[in-house]
Amino acid sequence: MSKILVTGGAGYIGSHTCIELLNNGYEVLVLDNLSNSSDESLKRVQTITHKKLEFVNGDIRDRELLDKLFSENTFEAVIHFAGFKAVGESCEIPLDYYDNNVYGTIVLCQAMKAANVKSIVFSSSATVYGDPASLPIMEDFPLSATNPYGRSKLMVEEMMGDLFKSDNDWGIALLRYFNPVGAHPSGQIGEDPNDIPNNLMPFVSQVAIGKLEKLRVFGNDYPTVDGTGVRDYIHVVDLAIGHVRAIERLKSNKGVQIWNLGVGKGYSVLEMVAAFEKASGKDVPYEIVDRRSGDIAACYANPEKALKELNWKAERELEEMVTDAWRWQSQNPNGYAS
Ligand code: NAD
Ligand code: WQD
């Protein structure tokens, strides 16, 4: 059986991906320092799948630990989720972001190279497209970054390009996620922000459950359908399945391969709020406030390359995204601490 090392596997997208890996017959070892997660997510992954996974509580920057894991296990590939992801925070503590996201990835790749494991799936982000000149976004659009978080993703993408140029045995999948939302349909795992959420969907969920008073909608004067920002929201289960497809593709294709993982359709903030209210039966009070600095008007993917090359397409519609998000929130009002 093939074994996959999943860094950051206890987190939001990682835990959902573990389910899809286990359900597709892979063995899984998760390396996570629990800096933004709880190992409760992994216990629940095992309950949902009726399968076991291994968990090591440790840091990707710990080279000694990595060497030990690579010598004790035969990994087919690494899926690399571990990192920090809050845009605003990355402007306040940029060095921590470069340390964890860039240096951490360097240490991981060095250990992989030493162990001759040369297949990696990396969590990149649509943020690397900056403010796109046109929509939908294709993989060959120009890249730019407006904050340290985005720059850390760009740096890793470029570094991986150099790595492949130096050694053509590497198989590298750069997955550019659009806006992951929703939760596993069991309601047992989902997104569990440590603090007040930065992202729209967890914020809306916490307003609906009464933990937060109201949503602040960042601007209603964008050139969009109703003036609020438009994004390509993708169900986290669809996103997780994309990782399994990428692993399968790497078995026969080397090189740096880039795929947008999005639905290909955009919804506005107010459309998301309306869909959430309908699914939950709860009111989501909001007020319109100034634009958030760094935000763009609209962003959605052209996901055709992933369809063609990975045979992957997002299947879950908006209603399923908000229904599953609400099931997780209402069954776990305090996340994994519930
Ligand atoms: P998350 O914070 O829920 O998961 C990241 C996990 O990595 C956490 O469990 C955390 O404890 C762990 N981690 C962090 N630093 C570590 C380290 N040095 N060593 C070991 N473990 C470490 O975030 P997520 O939403 O699941 O995102 C996963 C990846 O996808 C991240 O790289 C993120 O930048 C990227 N991404 C996320 C989004 C999004 O909106 N959620 C969008 C695009 C890209
Ligand atoms: C979505 C829309 C906001 C919160 C970020 C990162 C990106 C990626 C995904 C990691 C926007 C509006 C939000 C709120 C609001 N992450 N909004 N009130 O900004 O598209 O992307 O997360 O890689 O890199 O930049 O996602 O969920 O924060 O915002 O009105 O309280 O909701 O203005 O239009 P974003 P988001």
Residue nearest to atom 33 of ligand 2 (CA): 218
Q: What is the pLDDT of residues 175-186, one digit of tens each?
A: 999 999 999 999
pLDDT above 90 coverage of the chain, percent: 99
Minimal-distance CA residue to ligand 2 atom 34: 229
Kindly tell me if the per-residue pLDDT of 1 is higher than 90: no
pLDDT value at residue 121: 99
Pocket of ligand 2 (CB under 6 A): 85, 87, 125, 127, 179, 198-200, 203, 215-218, 229, 231, 269, 292, 295
The pLDDT of 295-323, averaged and rounded, is: 98
Residue nearest to ligand 2 atom 17, measured at CA:
200
Distance 82 CA to ligand 1 centre (A): 5
Ligand 1 atom, smallest distance to 85 CA: 34
> Is residue 338 over pLDDT 80?
no
Mean pLDDT over 68-92 rounds to 98
* CA 281 to centroid of ligand 2, rounded, Å: 24
Identify the pLDDT of residue 37: 98
**What whole-number percentage of the chain has pLDDT above 70?**
100
Q: Exactly one of 26, 149, 222, 233 is catalytic; which is it? A: 149
Q: How many CA atoms lie within 13 A of 198 on its CB side?
A: 11
Q: What is the pLDDT of residue 173?
A: 99
Tokens read off for 311: 């045979």
| Mean predicted confidence (pLDDT) in 122-137 | 98
Q: Is the pLDDT of residue 116 over 80?
A: yes
What number is the average pLDDT over the span 24-30? 98
Mean pLDDT of the chain: 98
| 30-53 per-position pLDDT tens digit | 999 999 999 999 999 999 999 999
Strands 119-125 and 171-177: parallel
Annotated catalytic, 300? no
At 115, the pLDDT band (50, 70, 90 cuts) reads very high
Rounded to an integer, what is the distance from CA 247 to the centroid of its chain?
16
**Long-range contacts of residues 158-162, Cβ cutoff 8 Å, at least 24 apart:** 159/102, 159/105, 159/106, 159/109, 160/109, 160/120, 160/122, 160/256, 161/256
Contact status, residue 191 vs residue 240, Cβ threshold 8 Å: no
Pocket test for ligand 2, best of 91, 290, 295, 322 (most atoms within 8 A of CB): 295
Q: What is the pTM of this model?
A: 0.99
Radius of gyration of the chain (CA): 19
